[in-house]
Structure 1
Amino acid sequence: MLSRDDVHDVLVVPEGSEIKSLDDLPPGALVGSSSVRRKAQINRVRPDLQVVRVRGTVGTRLDKLDGKKKMYSKLDTMVLAASGLERLGVADRARQVFSVDDILPAVGAGVLALECRQADTEVTKLLVRLNDEKTQTEATAERVMLHGLRGHCNSPIAGYRVTEPDGQLSLRGMVFSRDGSTFVHAHYWGEGLNDPAVLGSRVCSELLRQGARHIIASAHSIGHTREGSPHT
């Protein structure tokens, strides 16, 4: 895993728009996002906004936002990952950077992982030199939590682990209903062992204790009804 990039989500507006933040949007405005995690957290604070599905690469989504590609309706704004914009060299398109308290990131946000065949020992040696241990530790805690929740790429789950200044691991996890009206939250520190896998398991267990399994199942059930099949 390479060194982790920016984990934040950002608000992007059409070219020439005067909108500077989510607060500037009028009731009923259309916000483009294909992420259930983002939709739930946006609707927690602005239930009056319509979050509509937009698929495609980051470049394609920006073209749809700017009206260069056809959409069934004109979008007022869009929420994307800051790291994706930075990698395309268009980070200046971001109008508002959401804090992790505003929108908790996805599991593995900002992480790029490299893979090779186990038999390719020479390539493996090179990848070990590129590996960022801090990033791998953070991603491990988040992925253990996600695995325990039986989540996938479009489950209503958020998780973000950080290393505190004193070296202590900290992991926050959240599970939402699709409209954001119901959610559970857990936040733990690594304490004595400071083991990322143990930390991920603890946060997962607490979320399950609060009813995460039912919330996830309900969200997936709605996904079947509205979209025909779940996303994998």
Structure 2
Amino acid sequence: MDLETHYATGPAEDSRLARTPHGRLEYLRTQELLRRFLPGPARILDAGGGTGVHAAWLAADGHAVHLVDVVPDHVAQAAALPGVTAETGDARALTAPDASFDAVLLLGPLYHLVDPADRARALAEAGRVLRPGGLLAAAGISRYLSLLETAAAGTLTAEREAPVRAVIETGAYDGHVGFVPTHWHTAAELRTEVAAAGFREVSVYGVEGPAWPALDAAGLEVFPERVENALRAARIAEQDPRLIDTSAHLLAVARRP
């Protein structure tokens, strides 16, 4: 299934980060990490930005946000947001001029691009359109996501054991817990790919931290009373080499030389 078909027929993308406790935690921590590093006000390119879930709050923070996405319906929704411009496009072949943005977000493309050469092209394009010293924020999905999710939910069946092991070993995710086939990273792999694209000062952060499976198991109704504990755990473990891959998502932050 191609991306446009998946996003047209699957659950609404603009509510993805609100449907589950770990999605809400991902949203809060992504905000927290981006605000930590973004200059302000900045010219931001949100490549693969979907319906503008992050572009909306970034624009409200005073940034000038331009969103690019391969799904026309996403682009139409994003273009209606205050302070956001949007166009249909591909992170591997951006239309923006060289050195035209202060920051580039790749919060979806790197896991959708299963070929390493395509991920390298997307990172090279991000570097091209960034000004010297500009900020890259690139997300990956952790290879351990389905292991932790299924184990916590009690759905790690004998039939699922082989694909769970396979994605941990190879990064090739086959869709066994939903979603389309994608590439899942380790923190070390994500760091290596970003550095190989010529970026400097590369750091990788765990987004949700180790408590997200427990939040999901507890349910949305208790999320408000438990989220601060989960956020605290995420901050403690965000760069711990023994725990970083327990996050469902990883965020690489780097600079164009």
Query: Same fold, TM exceeding 0.5?
Result: no
TM value normalised by structure 1: 0.30
Higher-Rg structure is 1
Q: Which has the higher contact order (CA 8 A, sep 6+)?
A: 1
Structure with more helix by fraction: 2
